Chains A and B, each alone.
Chain A
Amino acid sequence: MTDSDSDKVKRVLALDPLSRRQFLKRAGLAGAAIGFGGAIVGCGDSTTTTTAAEGTATSATTAVTVGEEMGREVKVGWVTMTTGPLASLSEPDDFLLAQAKAAVGDGLVINGKKHPITWVVKDSQSDSNRAAQVAGDLITGDQVDLMMTGMTPIVCNPVADQCEANGMPLVSYGAPWQAWFFGRNGDPAVGFEWAYHFFWGAEDMIAVYTGLWDMFETNKTVGVLWPNDPDGLAMADPVNGFPPVMGEMGYKIVDPGRYTNLTEDYSSIISQFKAENCEIVTGLMIAPDFPTFWSQAQQQGFNPKAVTMGRAILVRPDMEAVGDSGNGLCTEAWWASTHPFTSSLTGNTCMEQAKAWEDEKGTGYNGSLGLTGAAFEVAIDALKRTTDIDDPASIRDAVKATDLQTILGPINFSTGPVPNISKTPLVGGQWQQGGEWPWSLVVVNNDAYPSIPKSGELIPLGG
């Protein structure tokens, strides 16, 4: 039984917890009734809503005749970034959603009953207000049972705040854990109750980037481009950020200060880098900014020997925006087809998963194919282990107890540096041209996680 079928059944029986459109219709009717002084209509309406869940279960049983006892539909809310400046990170969303739906099929067995699973997907538009708004809608409007959200503190943090305040279990991914945990006033002694997050942290990025710099012959002078936003501030932090580590390792920092995202003129920064003879550039620009900086650097004849750039060149479409002069740019690799992991959902190895993407889409894969894919694995695994699907705390406990080998590596929220966090592996990657696809992210440094193999040799910047 497909999602739309089950939806139809419920709508016919009018037992669905109000969808937004239905809500509007009824609100309209209620409004009209109110005009005649009938506040009672509103009361009747809300009672129907509360009894909806049980009724649905029975209707589903009759509609589908399968051997197993059928349970009610389980809804998973997903706040992602379909549009907006950070949308390139969400390229594999549809592909992964289809894969997850196929893997779940007509339902998941949760504590002896088979429950159909539906995903309610909302676009955060890469905007924190919108992310908070749609997360709230999913919780109170769609009444989802579990939430997923991903990519950058701009989206993950507001969604996590909503979940935490409203008692909604959350699987979050794709933001450095410091920004997610400390950015939300997290106390390491207490942690959070409802929201769980997996990704790497500033310390991993520092290890990977310094590892990459050591591979180049340079004068060890580093120009930094850390913007004034949650991620940038974490990197620039004088205690937990790059500066102390760089000092220890003998790298000299040239820091023009926190610039504002979507800056259009980098000429003064470039002049400073040139004047101080920076041979390495690092930073954490957002995707629209790096091509601007890079083309201006070329125009002004600034040619560093090594560039390690976070965020802006994570995924293939970003490199297409940078163009040929980006051959040899380095970034952190969250995931690559050569990683030695297997999906718990599809049984695909990383190579098979990348191949599946490439065959279907006809383009190279993104690192988020592995990252977002792991979020589906964690969510589905948690639902399977849930003992009482009608109790959010039971779903939360299942998420909390996650100990899963995913396509992204092992995920276990009790192993993190602070509560609610699971760290995932990070290695050093370099964008290279001339492979099967116009751009491939080659793992050139695995010092931080030696069990992940290197997939190629370092090339000099510029090819």
Chain B
Amino acid sequence: MSGRQLRVERQTRASRVGVPAAIIILAIAVSLPLWGSSNLMKTGVTFLTLVALAQMWNLLAGYAGLLSVGQQAFVGIGAYGVWALAEKGGVHPFVAVPIAGLIAAAFALPTAGLTFRLRGGYFAVGTWVVAEVFRLLVINIAWLGGGSGGSITSVGRIARDTREAAVYWLALGVAVGAVVLVYLILRSKGGLALASIRDDQTAAAGLGVNTVRSKLWVYVLSAFGCGTTGAVIYLNLLTVQPEGAFSLNWSALMIFTVVIGGVGTIEGPILGALIFFGLQQVLSDYGSWYLVLIGTIAATSAVFAKQGLWGILNRRWTLELFPVRRRVDLDSDADPPATEPDAQPTDRPKGSASAPSEDG
């Protein structure tokens, strides 16, 4: 052992290349409204909001071990928040977006108080029940339009070019914001706590991690992210109806994206969003068969590729765009290690790289 040196690092070769590449992609994405068509912007909004939602679910499930199927509650609250602020409160709809996120985060606190008493599958069902309760509440509040919902007409009145560009930038903001948020959380001390909770909650608690506080933070942040994203989504869709805003489909969408992409990585949900988005664009006109195919892919991925597509790629080429894991490298001048250093990626392989978000 004396001939070897141990090195602990986060950076990978990919992440060193990745940073300038990400900056270039981001610059192109930001400038898109200057050269892109309306359709490209609209497509961009759909894709970027999907990335943001997937990141938020991944933060919950992949890092804090909170398997929620009730995130549609916060998408819906965000949607209704932006609608109520813009239509009833006279707040400028773009300004209303982050406020809607804060409203969602505020609702997350009492929700957590209820659902955190439950664990695992019970927690999942509990979050779903709470989301349904929010939907039923909204339906019964006449001020919120009751079962009819309403239209965000104040956005519709903004000149089309301005509106399209602004909504696109907001979507880009939530997507980039979600990625950066997750990255920063994971690189912080709290991230280490989360990783330990994910691996073994009891052991983490035994080592002195305040599991409840860590999970609560993540839950509230995720609600904020989902609420803000929901607000942006409905600035694009323009019509808020309770069945749609609190639809279980939002959670299904997040889960599918994260499961096929790779749970517990930052890159996985981005890849998953690209795959799902591609499938949707190409196949969604096939109606029921499209849904059958999506279900089959999700089931196959869950059974045969538990780490998602990202896990598979990562096992092959250890490339991390967002280096959040510490890797132990053995400098092997003396003894030959079992394999080449790059293919020996510590405990379990997570995270890797390629080119995400090509059109922004």
Contact = CB atoms under 8 A, between A and B. Distances in A.
B35 A133 contact: no
Contact of B147 (A127, A161, A228): A228
A43 interface: yes
B148 A179 contact: yes
Pick from B42, B147, B278 the residue with the most CB of A within 10 Å: B147
Contacts of B278: 24
Interface string A120-137: 001101011101110011
Interface string A198-237: 0000000000000000000000000000011110110000
A34 B25 contact: yes
B336 interface: no
Interface stretch (B201-209, B238-246, B260-268): B238-246
A24 B281 contact: yes
Contacts of A456: none
B300 interface: no
B329 interface: no
A313 interface: no
A162 interface: yes
B238 A183 contact: no
Contact of A129 (B35, B40, B237, B358): B237
Interface in A160-176: 161-162, 164-167
A31 interface: yes
Contacts of B358: 27-28, 30-32, 34-35
Given A35-B355, A161-B151, A258-B147, A128 B241 contact: yes
Nearest to B250: A129
Interface stretch (B54-62, B110-118, B121-129, B155-163): B155-163
A240 interface: no
A415 interface: no
A27 B147 CA distance: 39
A230 B25 contact: no
A39 interface: yes
Interface size on A, as a range, is 35 or more
A184 interface: yes
Interface stretch (A2-10, A90-98, A151-159, A361-369): A151-159
Contact of B281 (A20, A82, A125, A140): A20
A233 B145 CA distance: 10
A185 interface: yes
A118 to B, nearest CB: 15
B241 A133 contact: no
B42 A185 contact: no
Given A184-B153, A185-B150, A23 B39 contact: yes
Given A34-B28, A37-B24, A132 B148 contact: no
Contact of B239 (A20, A128, A141, A229): A128
A165 B156 contact: yes
A158 B83 CA distance: 14
Contacts of B148: 153, 179, 183, 229-230, 233
Interface in B145-201: 146-153, 155-156, 160, 163
A interface, by DSSP: helix, strand, loop or mixed? helix
A153 to B, nearest CB: 7
Interface residues of B, number: 51
Interface stretch (B282-290, B307-315, B316-324): B282-290
Given A39-B28, A129-B237, A140 B359 contact: no
A28 B287 CA distance: 25
B239 A158 contact: yes
Nearest to B158: A165
B5 interface: no
Nearest to A40: B35
Contacts of B140: 228, 258
A161 B157 CA distance: 11
Contacts of A157: 151, 239, 241
Contacts of A42: 28, 32, 35-36
Interface in B16-67: 21, 24-25, 28, 31-32, 35-43, 46
A230 B243 CA distance: 11
A157 B147 CA distance: 13
Given A18-B39, A42-B35, 16 more contacts: A23-B39, A31-B355, A31-B358, A31-B359, A39-B31, A46-B35, A46-B37, A82-B287, A127-B243, A128-B237, A131-B239, A140-B37, A140-B41, A143-B39, A161-B238, A183-B151
Interface of B: 21, 24-25, 28, 31-32, 35-43, 46, 87, 136, 139-140, 146-153, 155-156, 160, 163, 236-239, 241, 243-245, 247, 249, 278, 281-282, 285, 287-288, 355, 358-359
